[in-house]
Structure 1
């Protein structure tokens, strides 16, 4: 693991801690599932700006795979190439109208099947490798 990877991992730990409660727990579960999908996935922090100085937790493997945002009433896992992915289990429930992006919003009490999420992440990696 490079210093940049370990630094990003620590920063994502901080994002999870700052979210706290059910949002932090949800983000931690999503993170574990994403990381377990492929050994080549790397964590990065992207898109820092004054309104979001902590940046955005992003998982990368041959391109951006997915990114996590803590919203007011949900934790969102966004797939930049989600529209190109098969989603037979209908995990995507947000940003469905766009031509590229799809997302999974989890509200308090909601869960996602981690095995199905891992399959979706693997499909996103395969799409990155095709592009």
Structure 2
């Protein structure tokens, strides 16, 4: 994997690398609970939809697609944020959404260190997002 370090110390990856490899590298680069959380969320996404397409956008954000954008996996200092592109249109009976609740389009789930993932509820939410996308395509 080819990476260079910028003046700020951040790493930049070549655009020629596959999105999956870039996501792998990001998980490894984090090297803490955030990398573990992002890796677990990625696994849940792939379990929910084996046909999901991974992309690498906006200088370092994993994005998952199926007939349109499903969600992103952003990492910050104290959270891993999973933002659903059309989250406001999804039913959330398990009340997973806990962030970006005021918008008309997106909804997000902020995961904190040590937090467990309700995998069944998250898979249901991912599948609902896919159903929404496929119903409009």
CA positional deviation for 1:72: 1.6
Q: If the length of structure 2 is used for normalisation, what is the TM-score?
A: 0.84
CA offsets 1:3-43 (integer angstroms, 9 cap, x no match): x9x81111000111112211111000000000111122111
Which of residues 19, 28, 32 in structure 1 aligns to 2:39? 28
What 5-or-longer segments of structure 1 have no aligned partner?
49-54
* Count of aligned pairs between the two proteins: 121
Q: What is the match of residue 37 of structure 1?
A: 48
Q: If the length of structure 1 is used for normalisation, what is the TM-score?
A: 0.88
Q: Distance in 1 between matches of 2:97 and 2:30?
A: 22
SS at match of 1:9: helix
Where do residues 1-131 of structure 1 align in structure 2 (5 Å cutoff)? 7-48=18-59, 55-131=60-136
What 5-or-longer segments of structure 2 have no aligned partner?
1-14
Q: Which has the higher helix share?
A: 1
The root-mean-square deviation of aligned C-alpha atoms, in Å, is: 1.4
Larger radius of gyration: 2
* Greater RCO, CA 8 A, separation 6+: 1
